[in-house]
Amino acid sequence: MSAAAEQSQALIRLRGISKAYGSGDALTYALHGVDLDIAKGDFVSIMGPSGSGKSTCMNILGCLDTPTSGQYVFGNVEVSRMSRQELAKLRRYYLGFVFQGFNLLNRTSALENVELPLMYRGTPARKRRQLARHALKIVGLEGRESHTPGELSGGQQQRVAIARAIVTSPAVLFADEPTGNLDTARSHEIMELLSGLNQEKGITIVMVTHEPDMAAYTKRIIRFVDGKVAEEQHS
């Protein structure tokens, strides 16, 4: 395949992405010229030492943060030129995000937590409920709809967070250390779930992990060092 054809197939394309913090003597680069292509249907893990820029890169990919310079293309759209409003829209309609700390609303039921992104979209109540129930079923939490996060285990809370991320049928799911707060058995269960979503639902998944055993579930392992992509491994 020609380089041009290969490029046009990428769902996500980062070119020369840099992120600087501070100024003058305090100027530091969290990212320093990151080039990265992610294809539709990909399952990618990002690894690397603490402080190497993994979360910074994920936040830029997930449109939660903007780069200082460089180009980010999603599909055919240049994200690096979008306004805040356009970014919010891209996030709402095409992206899902899962965090290490679950980030659920505490006094709110699992069902309502999962409904939240649909509320931002203006989905009618009945449809919301139906989609949220279905998403909870996919992550194996049928029957736990009315439980609040405090009434669920860590693994179950992360399942709720994953249901919340997939309830909108996103094109891409970003997960920053999704198993970072879980024990080994629960971590493997979450990775099985993510693998299934990738294989059966075709959701493109990009995740950060420090654990080689979890990265082993993914198709590509990208290693960050000092704000750059240092190497890539295919499994």
- Using CB under 6 A, list all residues that contact ligand ATP: 21, 30, 48, 50-56
Is there a contact between 64 and 70 (Cβ–Cβ < 8 Å)?
no
Is there a contact between 12 and 73 (Cβ–Cβ < 8 Å)?
yes
Residue nearest to Mg ion (CB): 55
Is there a contact between 29 and 20 (Cβ–Cβ < 8 Å)?
yes
* Cβ count within 10 A of residue 51: 13
DSSP character at residue 134: H
How far separated are the first and last CA of the chain, in Å rounded? Answer: 21
Element (H, E) at 37: strand 28-39
Compare residues 89 and 210 and give the one whose CB is closer to ligand ATP.
210
Minimum distance of ligand ATP from residue 168's CB (angstroms): 25
Compare residues 55 and 157 and give the one whose CB is closer to ligand ATP.
55
21 binds, among Mg ion, ligand ATP, none (CB under 5 to 8 A by kind): ligand ATP
Minimum distance of Mg ion from residue 229's CB (angstroms): 16
Dist CA 76 CA 225 (whole Å): 29
Minimum distance of ligand ATP from residue 34's CB (angstroms): 11
Asked if 100 interacts with Mg ion (CB under 5 A), we say: no
23 binds, among Mg ion, ligand ATP, none (CB under 5 to 8 A by kind): none
* Cβ count within 10 A of residue 231: 11
Taken in order 86, 132, 209, 44, the sign of the CA dihedral is: negative
Minimum distance of ligand ATP from residue 57's CB (angstroms): 7
Question: What string marks each residue from 22 to 61 as x (binds Mg ion by CB under 5 A) or -?
Answer: ---------------------------------x------
85 binds, among ligand ATP, Mg ion, none (CB under 5 to 8 A by kind): none
Compare residues 92 and 210 and give the one whose CB is closer to Mg ion.
210
Minimum distance of Mg ion from residue 204's CB (angstroms): 20
Which residues touch 69 (CB under 8 Å, ≥6 apart)? 16, 17, 18
| Contacting residues toward Mg ion, per CB under 5 A | 55
